[in-house]
Amino acid sequence: ACFHCCRWLSDVAIKSQSDAFTAIDRLLDMGAQTVIITSTFVETGQSQVLLGKNKNGEITRVEMPKIKAHFTGTGDLFNALLLAWSHEGLQSSCEKAVCTMQAVLRRTLQHYGT
């Protein structure tokens, strides 16, 4: 879920990483098997942070540089990549999805500009 969707669905104001994991736990308690929050900036400043957890208790945190451009379809791309790598486990699949997405976005920016 995106940061705002997770906040809305869990009814938790997310101002810190601890708040984010409280929201994730609430969504897991509602029946989700895995919850991943994308596009957060909690406690990092300029970097984006992906936070996730599954019912097995596996937790992930992936920090990535923010690319200063506007792209359409990044959520769809991320979800497709996450599904493609999901057999790797939560941490590895999130890291690989983020790395692949960052490469695609950089290449798109390089080819088309801002």
Residue 113 has pLDDT above 90, yes or no: no
Q: Following CA atoms 60, 48, 100, 72 in sequence, which dihedral angle do they give, to the nearest 10 degrees?
A: 130
User: What is residue 64's DSSP assignment?
Assistant: E
CA distance 87 to 93: 7
Residue 3 has pLDDT above 90, yes or no: no
Q: For residue 57, what pLDDT is reported?
A: 94
- Mean local confidence (pLDDT), 25-52: 86
Could you tell me the pTM of the whole model? 0.85
**% residues pLDDT > 70 (the chain):** 93
Q: For residue 45, what pLDDT is reported?
A: 66
Helices (H), the chain: 3-10, 17-29, 74-85, 90-112
Give the residue numbers marked as catalytic: 76
Residues 41-78 pLDDT 10s: 666 667 888 999 999 999 999 988 888 888 889 889 99
